[in-house]
Amino acid sequence: MFRLEKDARVWLVLGRTDMRKGANGLSGLVANTLEMDPMSGHYFVFCGRRKNLLKVLYYDRNGYAIWYKRLEEDKFLWPATPEQARAITGEQLEWLLAGFNIEQAHRYRRYAV
């Protein structure tokens, strides 16, 4: 299972991403297109054209790491907003990976920690 650090920020890189890209290509997108530092320790989430594959790029102490998840039968509910990148919480990333729509999902106040 994928675990996030508590204080890490998660950025959804909206739009379609060429999923053939590796760490160098994805970090280049973060640096050049989003004008963010790919070695900041933040998590950057990319989605492919078919919306069945997500890649998460992050810098882990001494190098880049990529985590990816491919759905066999379903599609991820990827947000369709016009922004280039959007910050979400670690909890919302877990919801996205579980197949929930992060626009509609919320934690009930009674169960909030």
- CA-to-CA distance for 17 and 67, rounded, in angstroms? 15
pLDDT tens digits, residue range 28-85? 999 998 899 999 989 999 999 999 999 999 998 899 999 999 988 888 888 777 677 8
Task: Compute the chain's Rg from CA coordinates.
Answer: 14
Alpha carbons 112 and 14: distance in angstroms, whole number: 28
DSSP states of 7-62: T--EEEE-S---TT--HHHHHHHHHHTS---TTSS-EEEEE-TTSSEEEEEEE-SS
